[in-house]
Amino acid sequence: MTRIAFIGGINIIDDSDTPGDNPPRYDYAVRIEGPLLAPIVEEVERLWGAKSGTPEGDRLDVLATLIEAYEDRRYPMEPPDPIEAIKFRMEQQGLTRKDLEPLIGTRTRVAEVLNRRRGLSIEMIRRLHKALGISAEVLIQPSRSKAA
């Protein structure tokens, strides 16, 4: 019997350019547990891929909204560490430190930033956001001194 399920994926990179006052959208997996887990998982799996605007698609949207609200209350998540977000994106795209030089600066500057000895400047944040699609809201956060 399933005891815990995660629905969706974890996306620490902002996947939409949100102009104005709209905050970036974070897409995290949703953890569900308890006695209602099995029927919820079955229903979401049955509806997965339903066309938007259909009764099935609408039901999936409602379930996803309810699950997300539950998850937000029960398991709040902090925004990711900016350096870990950069390293994650580098791994995703097969980038090297040299590839970051046009975005961050010299080889030494890249090393200082990735080793947490220097913070990101506003210009670096702008270039990283534009080139790598990492949310500016993530990049502007202070780097955790000992991120995982």
- Expressed in angstroms, the distance from the first to the final Cα of the chain is 32
Same domain, 38 and 70: yes
pLDDT at 101 over 90: yes
Residue 145 domain-assigned (yes or no): no
Domain boundary among the residues 54, 74, 94 is at 74
Task: State the Cα–Cα distance between residues 148 and 144, nearest whole angstrom.
Answer: 9
pTM comes to 0.54
Residue 119 domain-assigned (yes or no): yes
CA angle 134, 147, 136 (to 5 degrees): 20
pLDDT of residue 21: 52
pLDDT of residue 30: 63
Domains of the chain: total = 2
pLDDT at 13 over 50: no
Residue 14's domain comprises 4-74
pLDDT of residue 148: 44
User: pLDDT class for 143, splitting at 50, 70, 90?
Assistant: confident
pLDDT digits (tens, 9 = 90+) for 54-81: 999 998 888 888 877 877 787 777 778 9
